[in-house]
Structure 1
């Protein structure tokens, strides 16, 4: 029959212990004459027997229970002797009543459960090499702030001294009042107590101010570094992560402040509570070392309860967040699809869905509040029990004359504070590990190298604008096995207008992305004046190769700022000339504020045609050698499109790559390249391609039928 290992170990220890205690009972009278030494001698004789029994009958199980069973009675008797408690405990467990044996096993079991709770509450990744490496990086990140950290630590020490002196002088005042009133001594004690209280408050405020200042500086530096690093990543990176208020913005808005709390805030909490706990224990030892030993009984139980509660609390918080997110998703889905909801008369169904989501959130919150109430009740009962025990022991010491009433009051005040500080240290450890997890995510982005490098250095004084695709094959990173372009080769000659045509999904926009160097091809090369694009300086390349897309993005600010976006030292004449060339000067001049008109968020204050003309001006002000118009004329009226053709497409020295669906725009191109399923299938002028009757001819005919 299978027996659980824990039960097998307990049974083995119990049977072996009964045999050893029966043998020691015969020597009880002789051993009892040794006093306290007999208890430790009994523990030494029991340990090898219990250890051997546990090893034989329950191999592989931890032997902590053996040590506890042997050492617990001897430690208890030694503590009783130190505290000088009344009563006559047995000298040996072997000669004691069965109740003492039950008490020994119960205390050992409780200690084992406490130890298991402490181990269970620790984060799984505590102490891992990754966590240690992250902590070292955080320390290196914080090190430049060492002058402010030193100032914070100085104020922390001064605040701790003041806070520990307040209870001490409180007890002094009570002793003065109890032993006969002395005006001078009473006044001095009151003044010193007030001075310590005011000084501790002042120094604590300075300490908190220093740490807040340090965290603010760290947040600014880290956010700046992270954002600067993110905007240099390749386009595929942003297509794979959630940028719309989710992943990247969460790193900047949430994880960066959290990770920057690791060193300053946790150092503040750790040092404050550690120094205070040690200082308070020093004062408590000076008042009564016996009572100080007694307070140590509370710490394991308080720490275990805190860790168990923290584990449960974190799990419930995560569940509450998920339930709340589900409720928010119901609202967002219903509101965004309100026409469908009302069209099918499903208002009541959506209300029931939201009610069910809210009910789940309420249930989890009720459970969280109940567990918190039980935890607070246990902690309060533990504190009351310890205070009652200390009052009882303190009364004995007052009668013995080794402790005064004021000293007992001071000790009780210290004891209440020291328990709080120890629990804060336990909580800080768990908080440190969670903050390190947030830092790992931020460092993961900071360490990421863009797949499309920007280490090129070439920046010639002039470019002819000759573009060549040489056997280019490409697949998007999200779908590496699906080739979008297959062995594509074509050229754009200097000063030529070339149209790239094909059905949707044929690879036109992908060619634009490669020419703009948003991606790197898996095979082949894209050349500009015979030089691979990767060898050009990043800023230089994007000034010489300008793109205007179908849905251009404008940024909040004036029209002038949007036209000169990304350039330095642009004069008013340059801005006006670019606006005139793009056909935007007339409508800009008609606005009340002209070039100072605010375009609104994403250019929302302008019409689609006006936004496109501003975007074209933004490209033209760079005087690019290669201009890419990717459906950039779709929102323009006929007159504006004709003006654009005269001023931009026939600009002379500029090379233009044109992607358009309007036949007459394509017909005006010097040369046409036809793409089909990622491959070049035809190339030539409009007349030549029509005469062949191939894919281009079929495409033109289908466009005419659509019209």
Structure 2
């Protein structure tokens, strides 16, 4: 347990230094300003002593004015130093958090999709927002307060000894009484801090998941149950937070009682020393000032240490994201290179694959398949036969556990995934559209495309007509996920995006499934010209849409059970013949 706690703290410090170190000069300036302001604050104790002994007690206006002037200079110096410290520390906090968010997001974009099977996207979002906000608060405020308080405690104790060693012994004796509850409760606070952050992340995850599927929620009248479940999640987060707050409250209360109790004892002893003439009024006033400085600084440390512990937990969770490694990476030291324009020859040899979340079930099982350049190959079969998984493997979202997939005779494992995917254009069954304009969504795979090229692609996909009827045309802003468009319109925009990419290999996953009869007819007319000169793989449940494919591969349980033309398969494949009979009888 101790070793794990030490490792987590070391990990948190390492992560903090990684992002703070580029700004070490500003950190140095902030520390210098912090030391100067702490020194000025401690010097005020001597100013108080002079003010009392040489100002009030001597009844001399000249000495009083001189003491006030010294006090005023110290005040101005403290104000200037505080301004510099606050600005630099706050700047560092905001800058570091911006860098952390950018680094985490950039890292997440390169992780293979399997990572997101085991980690909820909404929880990752919470880490990227809530945890980094906590880091900003600590780096930009709490850490500075902790360091300043630590300096004040150290400097205050030294000056207490200089002012009056006898009285200081009372404060020193009380220190273990103050440190003991900090250590005891601090350990509990650290454990509850991690639990509290996890509960908060769960709340954020539930909100994102539910609101992201709000139509389904309302369609099934699930609101009441969602309210109940969300309320339960919130209450669990509150219960953890309450325990965390209770431990911190006890910690602060004990520190205040013990510190101020020691100050009261010190005042009793010091007051008797003044009465008996062993110390001056100014020395007692200065000693009380330093004692209060030490006491309040201890109180600040006890408060801030909880924030630092929470930040350590947040840094640990962010570090876990940054340490996650993609299982699909470019080979080292140098990946293979393909020509600028490939012909699109694909080969699968003995390919077997199971998803990491279900390793016991082979989705693709010993599959052998060759796809010739310029060929249109349709993939058909029952749901769960492995058709969409085959696309995942071709795009190298995953690597097969056995066998090899090659492009132009080069194994996909030998290619950089970025280089590989440049040669593919994907139209998925559920098209992904993003918040932004229609033009931005069409040029998603080719950001440098001109407006005319965007329109040309939309015309091929028969999307130009409905786009032109919109109030702002191609500049019309879409809601999240294409909210406001019909299924057919979304699909046509996805097809236009694939047209614009102009890749040598097309992957069409039920590309016309969401279209009405008229739109499907238009798309079917456009697809031949789109496929011309390209290798095309088409996933289809509706056999009528792939009857004219060069070849049709029939998959079942991840295996290739038959391949040939529509006519050949009707005669040679019982599975295909049964599917065709069912569909054409229904459609007839």
TM-score between both structures, scaled by the size of structure 2? 0.88
Distance apart, 1:558 and its partner CA: 1.2
Q: Could you tell me how far apart the structure 1 residues matched to 2:35 and 2:146 are?
A: 13
Q: Deviations over 1:371-419 (max 9, x none)?
A: 7776666544434432332223213432453311121112112101102
Q: Return the match for 1:200 from 70, 75, 78.
A: 78
- Which residue pairs with 1:392 in the alignment? 268
Q: CA deviation at 1:697?
A: 0.1
Once the two structures are TM-superposed, the CA of residue 665 in structure 1 deviates from its matched residue by: 0.6
> In the alignment, does 2:381 pair up with 1:494?
no
Instruction: Verify: 1:229 aligned to 2:107, yes or no.
Output: yes
| Aligned pairs (5 A) from 1:442-481 | 442-455=318-331, 456-481=335-360
Answer yes or no: is 1:382 the counterpart of 2:233. no
Alignment equivalent of 1:654, drawn from 519, 526, 534: 534
Please tell me whether residue 698 in structure 1 is matched to residue 574 in structure 2.
no
- 1:300 is matched with which residue: 176, 181, 191? 176
2:54 corresponds to which residue?
176
1:415 is aligned to 291
CA distance change for structure 1 residues 482 and 416 in 2, over 3 Å: closer, same or farther? same
Kindly indicate whether the alpha-carbon contact (under 8 Å) linking 1:470 and 1:525 is maintained by their aligned counterparts in 2.
yes
Once the two structures are TM-superposed, the CA of residue 422 in structure 1 deviates from its matched residue by 3.4
- Structure 1 SS opposite 2:546: helix
Tell me if structure 1 keeps the 8 A contact 2:256–2:299: no
Which region of structure 1 is more displaced relative to structure 2, 492-501 or 679-688? 492-501
Asked whether the equivalents of residues 120 and 205 of structure 2 are also in contact (C-alpha less than 8 Å), the reply is: no
Q: For structure 1, which segment, 570-579 or 422-431, has the greater mean C-alpha deviation from structure 2 after superposition? A: 422-431
**SS of the residue 2:484 aligns to:** coil
Judge conservation of contact 1:330–1:353 (CA < 8 Å) in 2: no
Tell me the secondary structure at the aligned position of residue 477 of structure 1.
coil
1:444–1:165 Cα change, 3 Å: same
The CA deviation at 1:630 is 0.4
Matched, 1:162 2:40: yes
SS at match of 2:338: coil
Contact map agreement 1:223 1:256 (CA 8 A) in 2: yes
In 2 relative to 1, CA 677–369 (structure 1 residues): closer, same or farther, beyond 3 Å?
closer
User: Secondary structure in 1 aligned to 2:481?
Assistant: helix
How far the C-alpha of 1:324 sits from its partner, in A, is: 8.7
* Equivalences for residues 575-590 of structure 1 within 5 A: 575-590=454-469
How many angstroms apart in 1 are the aligned matches of 2:206 and 2:317? Answer: 29
**1:255 partnered with 2:134:** no
Aligned-partner Cα distance in 2 for 1:491–1:363: 59
Comparing 188-197 with 331-340, greater Cα deviation is found at: 331-340
Structure 1 pair 239–376 and aligned structure 2 pair: CA distance change class (3 A): closer
* 1:334-379 residue CA offsets vs partner (Å, 9 max, x unmatched): 9987887899xxx8x9999999999988888888777777666654
Matches of residues 299-338 of structure 1 in structure 2 within 5 Å? Answer: 299-311=175-187
Aligned to 1:289: 165
Q: Relative contact order: is structure 1 or structure 2 higher (C-alpha 8 Å, sep ≥ 6)?
A: 2
Deviation at 1:269, TM superposition (A): 3.6
CA-CA distance at 1:282 after TM superposition: 2.8
> Can you list the C-alpha shifts for 1:26-82, whole angstroms capped at 9, x where unaligned?
xxxxxxxxxxxxxxxxxxxxxxxxxxxxxxxxxxxxxxxxxxxxxxxxxxxxxxxxx
Larger radius of gyration: 1
Counterpart CA distance in 2 for 1:134 and 1:314 is 13
Which 10-residue stretch deviates more, 232-241 or 386-395?
386-395
In the alignment of these two chains, the number of paired residues is 579
Deviations 1:209-228, CA, capped at 9 Å, x for gaps:
11111122211222212211
State the Cα deviation string for residues 671-705 of structure 1 (Å, max 9, x = none): 11000111011111101111225110011112235
- Alignment CA distance shift 1:537-1:505 (3 Å): same
User: Per-residue deviation at 1:646?
Assistant: 2.8
Distance (whole Å) between structure 2 residues aligned to residue 355 and residue 561 of structure 1 = 39
SS in 2 for 1:667: coil
2:190·2:309 contact (CA, 8 Å) conserved in 1?
A: no
Query: How far did 1:316 drift?
Result: 6.7
Distance 2:192 2:143 in 1: 28
1:679 counterpart residue number: 559
Per the TM alignment, residue 631 of structure 1 is displaced from its structure 2 partner at its CA by 0.7
Partner in structure 1 of residue 507 of structure 2: 628
In the alignment, structure 2 segments of 5+ residues that lack a partner are none
- Could you say which residue in structure 1 is the equivalent of 2:517? 638
Residue 519 of structure 1 aligns to a residue whose secondary structure is: coil
Aligned residue among 60, 66, 72 for 1:188: 66
CA contact (8 A) 1:266 1:432 kept: yes
Please name the residue that 2:17 is paired with: 139
Answer whether contact 2:194 2:310 (CA < 8 A) is retained.
no
Alpha-carbon offset, residue 281 of structure 1 = 2.2
Q: Deviations over 1:521-557 (max 9, x none)?
A: 1111222222222334433432321110111011111
DSSP-derived class of the 1:521 partner: coil
Q: Is the CA contact 1:464–1:625 (under 8 Å) kept in the aligned structure 2?
A: yes
Q: Does residue 1:441 correspond to 2:289, yes or no?
A: no
Say whether residues 1:148 and 2:6 are aligned partners.
Answer: no
Measured after TM superposition, the shift of residue 135 of structure 1 is: 2.7
Q: Offset of 1:600 from its aligned partner?
A: 1.8
Q: CA deviation at 1:424?
A: 4.0
Q: 1:221 to 1:197 in 2, by over 3 A?
A: same
1:668 paired with 2:544, answer no
Cα distance between partner residues in 2 of 1:278 and 1:511: 66
C-alpha distance in 2 between matches for 1:392 and 1:252: 53
TM-score, normalising length from structure 1?
0.74
Assess if the C-alpha contact under 8 Å between 1:563 and 1:615 holds in 2: yes
Structure 1 Cα separation of the partners of residues 169 and 116 of structure 2: 60
* Partner SS state of residue 564, structure 1: helix
Q: Residue 156 of structure 2 aligns with which residue? A: 280
Question: Post-superposition shift, 1:302?
Answer: 1.7
Partner of 1:621, secondary structure, is: helix
Unaligned runs of 5+ residues in structure 1 are 1-122
Residue 283 of structure 1: how far off its partner (Å): 2.4
